[in-house]
Amino acid sequence: MAKDDTKVVSGLNPAMQPKRMAMSGHYAPGKNPNSHKPRPWTAEAKEKLSRSQEWLAATKNNTSPRGYLSYSQMQLYLKDPQLFYQCYIEGLQQFRTDRLILGKRMATALENGFDEQRDPMIEMVMTFMPSYPLREYEMNGVFEGIPLKGKLDGFDKEGLRIGEYKTGVKWTQGMVDCHGQLTFYALLVKLNYGVLPNEIKLHWARTQKNPETGGIELTGETKTFLTKRTMSDLILFSKKIKEVWKGVCEVGAFAKI
């Protein structure tokens, strides 16, 4: 069959031939023959993988009930070691107060962008709460062999900004400046990025007790507190972390006897 006949039968325009060759896996003029090869790992990606592997290894090399330490665990253990045992070993469900229920509902609404019950007060307050690129962002880290885990209400990777949402009757600048949860998160940022966060803010929605129903409700008032953490703050807080970690590991070891 003649060369020209082949082109007619195949129905291919000669101008399309380079594309056909490229699709069939052959080299096409003007194309990089190595373009299909995977890109090499960046130093940042390798470091992230290394931190992840270190954290997973640390979670398997201890006797704590969860394998890692979170701020909520720290808070409960420092408040009542016996209650910690009952919750994390025996599976006791903690009593959920109206304050905790409202706080959880507010957090869910902020994450979803609306309140499931379409409460006008909650949705109004939401409009005054600043947003962050990442919501409910999980961050892990290993501090002196201790695996730490946190879930930040709001986080901005580019600006290294932490945002925490709180409800309650009262929050002051002094309370925010010494709040352990924010120090815990600042330590996680330091472990992951090598520097302290550039900005830490706590966004507060005031609550009050309804005189008629006795329940907790939002007042509509909001306020944002700006705070910071220094290396001295992290060093002091790390002592508490090591103290609590030793205790929760002892609790876990005792439970396995």
Is 150 within the bounds of a domain?
A: yes
pLDDT higher than threshold 60 for residue 164: yes
**CATH number, residue 239:** 3.90.320.10
Is 131 within the bounds of a domain?
A: yes
Instruction: Give the end-to-end CA distance of the chain in Å, rounded to a whole number.
Output: 85
- Give the residue numbers spanning the domain of 151: 62-255
User: How high is the pLDDT of residue 193?
Assistant: 96
Is 109 within the bounds of a domain?
A: yes
Is 42 within the bounds of a domain?
A: no
Is 19 within the bounds of a domain?
A: no
CB atoms within 10 A of CB 80: 11
User: How high is the pLDDT of residue 46?
Assistant: 83
Q: Which residues of 165-175 are buried (b: 16+ CB within 10 A; e: fewer)?
A: bbbeeebeeee
Is 199 within the bounds of a domain?
A: yes
Is 33 within the bounds of a domain?
A: no
- Identify the H or E element spanning 149: strand 146-156
The tally of domains found in the chain comes to 1
| CB distance 168 to 145 below 8 Å | no
For residue 19, which phi and psi values (nearest 5 degrees)?
Answer: -65, -40
What is the per-residue pLDDT across 214-243, written as a single tens digit (0 to 9) for each? 889 999 999 999 999 999 999 999 999 999
What is the per-residue pLDDT across 106-140, written as a single tens digit (0 to 9) for each? 988 988 888 998 999 999 999 999 999 999 999 99
Is 48 within the bounds of a domain?
A: no
pLDDT higher than threshold 80 for residue 61: yes
